[in-house]
Amino acid sequence: MESIEFIDSHTAGEPTRVVIAGGPTLGSGSLGERMGVMRTEFDHFRRSVVLEPRGSQAVVGALLCEPTDASCDAAVIFFNNTGYLGMCGHGTIGLAVTLNYLGRVGLGTSRIETTVGVVTAELLSTNRVAIQNVPAFRFRNQVEVSVPGVGNLVGDIAWGGNWFYLVKESPIPLSEANIPALTQASWATLRELQKQGITGADATSIDHVEFFGPPSTTEDQSGDPHATSSPNRHGSRVTVANSRNFVMCPGGAYDRSPCGTGTSAKLACLAADGELEPGETWIQQGILRSSFEASYQTLADGRVLPTIIGEAFVTAEGRLLIDPADPFRHGIIADPNQ
């Protein structure tokens, strides 16, 4: 019986499952090389951890690894229901809170190695984390795409740790009631981008679609300290946000949080358009009305260095058991194209 030890958390509603023991042996190469080994030789491990019956469509996995950079406190390989992620903003916030829960890091700044570069995570409190992401930039501006059943969309292509197509005006109003319609529209958009050969730099596939609209003015569950009122009887607050988003992730699952890498990509677009100054705060609200606080610094090469602040909470710890007789021991595989 195979056993995998894990800690679960959620960041602004989006779950992260950190594997702390029982992972595959990936060798001693670079983190990117080790992710390649996992993809080609141990993809069944990814499926076992995040797919049903042990996981769900929304779970993002994070395999703790030994860093190759001696200055780093930890290294991580992120993965989801369909494959692997270069960087995951909400996952890094969840990882920092998990490492603190395990007693591996204290309050203050830690360095975390990812497959796309080193990020820092400053634990501001037990649950609140500021991550300084990898540099973000806008690759193409105002790219038009005609999506059957959705309409003509105009969006930017930007990198924030993953590749995004960011649509400033959502074709569907952003509300919880519209999540099924938003999911269908954003997935159709992602497939159309692939069909038309619209990519990020170096012909890299765009794997996230992000719709934007005005923020909700109703109560959210963020507990953000920049809220405009005291907590009500439910413990929720009214938060002043700059915009609301809906993010489609690769594999057909929407991001329950405002998406850390997506917010980083948004910062790059705002900076390029002169709509947000360095150091100025941008509050990004997600589809569930939870929020991230974001700002950036400008780098000499024109890219921006994003900082994303959010909250995560540990929700479970335990062991996943993989019985060799279980026909679904490596997950239930569903084709999102069907």
Active site residues: 88, 259
For residue 192, what are its two tokens? 């159309």
Tell me which residue has tokens 């038309």: 196
DSSP-derived letter for residue 337 is T
Helix axes 31-41, 43-50, angle to 10 degrees: 80
Going by DSSP bridges, is the β-strand pair 14-21/60-65 parallel, antiparallel, or unpaired?
A: parallel
Nearest CA to 276 among 286, 285, 263? 263
Distance CA 255, CA 85 (A): 14
DSSP calls for 57-122: TT-EEEEEE--SSTT-SEEEEEE-SSSEES--HHHHHHHHHHHHHTTSS-SEEEEEEETTEEEEEE
- Burial string for 16-42 (b: 16+ CB within 10 Å, else e) reads bbbbbebbbebeeeebeebbbebeeeb
Question: Count of residues for the chain?
Answer: 338
| Helix (H/G/I), strand (E/B), else coil: 274 | coil
